[in-house]
A and B are shown apart, each in its own frame.
Chain A
Amino acid sequence: MKYKTPYPELLSTAIIWAIAASVTGALLWLLSDVFWHGMSQVNWEFLTQSPSNAGREGGIAPIIVSTALIVGVCLVVSIPLGVGTAVLIAEFAANKSILGRLVRLSLDVLAGVPSIVFGLFGNAFFCKTLGMGFSILSGGLTLACMVLPILIRSTQEGFRAVPDDYRRSAAALGVSRIATLWELLLPAAMPGVAVGLLLGLGRAIAETAALIFTSGYVDRMPESLWDSGRSLSVHIYDLAMNVSGGEANAYASALVLVSFLVLINSAISWLAQRFRQSKILVV
């Protein structure tokens, strides 16, 4: 006997599959467009040469180096600060204390602050007040402020996913708080931390607006963290908007940027998966 499915059920199923298909379609369109146009430009020379003629010709070597340095500064500062803060808030500070509430509220605000406002702040604070000028250091520190709430929040989410039972039973077994944190909570919170890293790293590498007025435009090879450096994203922006005939190299740079991101995304989610599995199997 065939069974009759109610009309709203059929309709909603059709709509939901159609939505999933069109979102996937849009993603594939964007990716294939960037891949197709970028692929013809990207080669070894492109990755190892300096840009010339305002970026229309030549490669992006110094730009890759600047990007790596900026993101490096950002992560070195933000990871310990972010995970540490999350641990403190989630495990040690009473959630309902006024301080805890205030910190959480300010993090919510921080998470929502537009990147361009971070740019303004970075420009005023790191570049001017602290006298770092347009430099990789200014850019990296500005990004660190930006990535921080993402890291904290998703680490917290991970902690929240740990049932209170774990904590209570660990406490009942006389396991110390630190050991509980290390053996039970951190592994359980790993997916949260990994998602935070993923989003944070993605946001840092992808960021443009906060960098234009902090790390600057200079497309020479940086000699130190105090030099100005142009990030990949700023390079794409500049080629697309300010340089006529820069489209081809903009596509190529976009392909490099997107590839980095895809690579990092995959690596991190793979790592998180592995780490979680091994920990759970051992424990």
Chain B
Amino acid sequence: MAIASGAIVLLILLFLIWETLPILQIIGLARFFNDPAWHPTSEEFNLVPMLWGTLFVTVGSILIATPIGILSAVFCHYYAPKAIANLYRRAIELLAGIPSVVYGFWGLVVLVPIIGRIHPPGPSLLTGILILTLMILPTITLVADASLASVPSEYLRGCASCGLGRWATVRGVVFPAAKSGLITGVILATGRAIGETMAVLMVCGNVVQTPKDIFEPVRTLTANIALEMAYAVGNHRAALFVTGLVLMVMIIALVIAAELLNKGHIYEQ
């Protein structure tokens, strides 16, 4: 049974490769990075703008969501009275439970017009980053919450007995002690940000271009698949599977990075 569960990954990889093998054999992998543009129906397959799109959206949202998420967990454990902490946890769980399509829809009808008034057109990298921040926040918070909960109370009593305040305790002892858990949360969230489809599809504008500022529309790798899969045939369809394969490679790299990081020493020097 365990093997069956693990084998699903292999099955997914197998199918992605199987679907992409013909196109990779005919035109090679290099053309996905060197072609002049993405016009799959006229055999031009440049994925680079979409790669940038995914990268920018992910990095932007991680940069905002990491401090907010971790401090949210800190709030629950060390700042809020118990009743408020429990309510806040419920709120975060609720945030985690809201479907990405609802985030996307809300972003489309509420955030996009607001951003559009600040700087047209509205559907943009920035909107994507904001929506995605909200979506990956619970992942970071809930994982951080669990790892803060496992910080031994002796440390906390030790800190108190040295006359340390809350923040000093959190920064100096709790963070180092919970480091691997916190990082794991961020890595999970990164994976989620890279893989998120519907919300970014609905608020990012989906123009195939490398954005020059945060108000320009972008298309991510995931959006690329979702937009074109419905009518893609032949090489076009295979090219979309290549996009999926690229996503898979990114995720696998991330998981391996997490493995290596978690193995590293967790003590601050």
Contact = CB atoms under 8 A, between A and B. Distances in A.
A30 B98 contact: yes
Residue among A31, A102, A209 facing the most chain B CB atoms (10 A cut-off): A209
B183 interface: no
B202 A261 contact: no
Interface string A181-205: 0000000000000000011001001
Interface string B7-26: 11111100110110000000
Contacts of B12: 110, 113, 117-118, 121, 145
A84 B2 CA distance: 8
Q: What's the dominant secondary structure at chain A's contact region?
A: helix
Contact of A85 (B5, B15, B98, B196): B5
A89 interface: yes
Contacts of B195: 112-117
A212 B75 contact: no
Given A15-B71, A114-B247, A33 B2 contact: no
B106 to A, nearest CB: 5
A112 B202 contact: no
A206 B103 CA distance: 10
A191 B32 CA distance: 46
A149 B12 CA distance: 14
A233 B8 contact: no
B30 interface: no
Interface string A216-238: 00000000000000000110110
B234 interface: no
A68 interface: no
A107 B6 CA distance: 6
B151 interface: no
Contact of B247 (A17, A116, A241, A265): A116
Interface residues of B, number: 78
Nearest to A124: B15
A17 B79 contact: yes
Nearest to B108: A240
A159 interface: no
B132 interface: no
A34 B108 CA distance: 12
Interface string A238-274: 0011000001001100100110011011000100000
Interface string B54-95: 000000000000001001101100011000000010111111
Contacts of A119: 225-226, 229
A124 B19 contact: yes
Nearest to A207: B99
Contact of A212 (B8, B103, B230, B241): B230
Contacts of A109: 9, 251-252, 255
B1 interface: yes
Interface stretch (B35-43, B152-160, B165-173): B165-173
A33 B146 CA distance: 31
A100 to B, nearest CB: 8
B47 interface: no
B214 interface: no
Interface of A: 5-6, 8-9, 12-13, 15-17, 19-20, 23-24, 26-27, 29-31, 33-34, 81-82, 84-85, 88-89, 93, 99, 102-103, 105-121, 123-125, 129, 145, 148-149, 152, 157, 198-199, 202, 205-209, 212-213, 233-234, 236-237, 240-241, 247, 250-251, 254, 257-258, 261-262, 264-265, 269
19 contacts: A13-B167, A30-B134, A34-B102, A85-B1, A88-B1, A112-B254, A113-B195, A116-B195, A116-B225, A119-B226, A145-B12, A148-B8, A198-B93, A205-B99, A208-B197, A209-B226, A241-B201, A257-B101, A261-B98
Interface of B: 1-12, 15-16, 18-19, 68, 71-72, 74-75, 79-80, 88, 90-106, 108-110, 134, 137, 146, 165-168, 170, 188, 191-192, 194-198, 201-202, 222, 225-226, 229-230, 240-241, 244, 247-248, 251-252, 254-255, 258-259
Given A84-B1, A113-B9, A114-B194, 11 more contacts: A84-B2, A85-B4, A109-B255, A115-B195, A117-B244, A120-B19, A121-B12, A199-B96, A236-B99, A236-B102, A237-B104
